[in-house]
Amino acid sequence: MKKYPLTRRSFIKKTSAGLAGAALTAGVSSSLYGNIVKKSSALAILGGKPVREKRYTPPSWPIYDETDEKALIDVLKGGRWSEYNKTPSELTVQYEEKWAKANNVPYAFMTNAGTNALFTSLQVLDVGPGDEVITTTSTFIATINVIFDIHALPIFVNIDPETGLIDPDLVEEAITEDTKAIIPVHLGGFPCDIVKIMSIANKYNIPVVEDACQSHLAEVDGKKVGTFGATGCFSHQAGKPLICGEGGTLIGSDEELMRRCGAFINNGRDPQRKLRGSPYPGSNYRASAFQAAVLLSQFEHFVKQHETRTRNGQYIEEKLTEIPGIKKAKTYSENTKITHISLRLDYNKEYFKNVPASKFAEAVRAEGFPIISGGQIRPPYGEGMHKEAMVEEHLNSRPFQSSFSKARLRKYRESLQSLVVNRIEKERLSLRGKMGFLGTKKDMDDIIEAVQKVAENVDKLT
């Protein structure tokens, strides 16, 4: 790897005024580094030689091999396409054991979608008409759909603008005597402030259903996300890190609660196979043996991919944050492990001659790395889910009209109108890691080199 002398140490040494004032706004200029700007470091975006002449092309997604093909064909030929007995030979059961172990919890149940892992949780926690469920407005619509589908009101909480994740302090403010559950969401591999949310929830004795659909194996203080609340829910839809096309998993530690969850997914059958018939309320949210077969074989790929992404993602983060003006994104605990399907880094343009992050990222892309983008930190889901037209449809539906008073619905509508998703005047660089971080150490070194090269030559972009 070529060395660009752009370390925090060299920056601080050469700017006696430290990181303040004029030196800071001067950013990274060639004069700071003497005559290191050679012909070979001319930026590719300005016609120079790129770090990678052949663009870095990460593997395409989904990734599969003959083990996945065999797993599918075995089910096809084996004839047992549907599984509901909960015997050890069932593929769903085998997968459930693996996912429970990976998360260090006693129970896991596979569902046919992450949405239905969430819905099952609310159902088993006895959430229903007239109740309120607190969640974030900045999430995928499925988090909200399950609340409306159970005929409870989603109480939309604003985001911490720095992370785009649910603001825990606003959770406490939103609690009323009708609050029956809280659904915090861990988005894009980044854990929300689950420790604080759990302490608030415990104080008021309100169950937490963690939506970890996008954040498989992320950790806070040595514990996996999805294992803090009463239940944790994952999606295995094709865009997620662990996939089988469509599918979900629900995990937890409370034996009775989880027994009921397992039963609800499977038409009320006792997952422990002790009680006969349908002793519990239930429906059919089972995954098929085809989904389980693919998930089982994908699990083996995922474990290796997760290791590679973590190693590469942490390496890139460590190296890029040595560049003055590039910082780690905020996390809520020092001891947070993100799932490196993406990596966000704060970008302070004052260190880069006021070149906006979008332009900086464009220059890195020109060096041969399409996995980077840059721009203003934005709420992850635009104006928020409370602005979706379906909200009004639900409020006008018979279940809502009969479960909530007119005054309550009026107040609710007013609260939606006044909710504006928080924004922040900050910029960031984002690296797409799901495929991007599956490369070799050399690939990662080249990405780092490209970012360093752009940082070093940023004055040419003004």
Ligand X SMILES: Cc1ncc(COP(=O)(O)O)c(C=O)c1O
Nearest distance from C-beta of residue 273 to ligand X, angstroms: 27
Q: Does 154 bind ligand X (CB under 6 A)?
A: no
Instruction: Determine contact, residues 218/190, Cβ cutoff 8 Å.
Output: yes
What angle is formed at CA 451 by the lines to CA 447 and CA 455, rounded to 5 degrees? 165
Applying CB under 6 A, does 235 fall inside the site for ligand X?
A: yes
Cβ-proximal residues to 322 (8 Å cutoff; 6+ apart), any chain: 6, 7, 8
User: Which among 312, 430, 311 is positioned nearest to 364, based on CA atoms?
Assistant: 430
Supply the minimum distance, in Å, between the C-beta of residue 247 and ligand X.
7
**Burial letters 348-368, b for 16+ CB under 10 A, else e:** bbebbbebbbebbbbbbbbbb
* Residues within window 192-231 making contact with ligand X, judged by CB under 6 A: 211, 213-214
| Residue 461, token pair as written in the block | 């972009």
> Which one, 142 or 150, has the nearer CB to ligand X?
142
Choose which of 136, 237, 266, 457 interacts with ligand X (CB under 6 A).
237
Nearer to ligand X, 237 or 312 (CB): 237
Q: Does residue number 127 form part of the binding site for ligand X (CB under 6 A)? A: no
Asked if 452 is part of the footprint of ligand X (rule: CB under 6 A), the reply reads no
**Which of 28, 110, 142, 326 lies at the binding interface for ligand X (CB under 6 A)?**
142
Query: Does 291 interact with ligand X (rule: CB under 6 A)?
Result: no
Q: Site residues for ligand X, window 168-197 (CB under 6 A)?
A: 185
Rounded to an integer, what distance in angstroms lies between the CA atom of residue 66 and that of residue 385? 40
Q: Which residues, listed in sequence order, are joined to residue 154 by a DSSP beta bridge?
A: 133
Question: DSSP of 184-236, one letter per residue?
Answer: -B-BTTB--SHHHHHHHHHHHT--BEEE-TT-TT-EETTEETTSSSSEEEEE-
Which residue number, 353 or 378, has a Cβ lying nearer to ligand X? 378
What 3-state DSSP class applies to 445? helix
In whole angstroms, the minimum distance from the beta carbon of 292 to ligand X comes to: 15
Residue of 41, 121, 136, 143 interacting with ligand X (CB under 6 A): 143
Nearer to ligand X by Cβ, of 192 and 316: the residue is 192
Q: Give the whole-angstrom CA distance, residue 129 versus residue 150.
A: 7
Residue carrying structure tokens 């969401």: 185
How many of the chain's residues bind ligand X (CB under 6 A)? 14
Choice between 163 and 235, CB closer to ligand X = 235
Residue 211 CB, shortest distance to ligand X, in Å, is 5
* 384 belongs to the binding site for ligand X (CB under 6 A): no
Does residue 296 sit in helix, strand or coil? Answer: helix
Determine, following the binding rule CB under 6 A, whether residue 114 of this chain makes contact with ligand X: yes
115 touches ligand X (CB under 6 A): yes
Closest separation between CB of residue 439 and ligand X, Å? 25
- Name the phi and psi angles at 126, rounded to 5: 65, 30
Please give the residue ranges that form the binding site for ligand X (CB under 6 A): 113-115, 139-140, 142-143, 185, 211, 213-214, 235, 237, 248
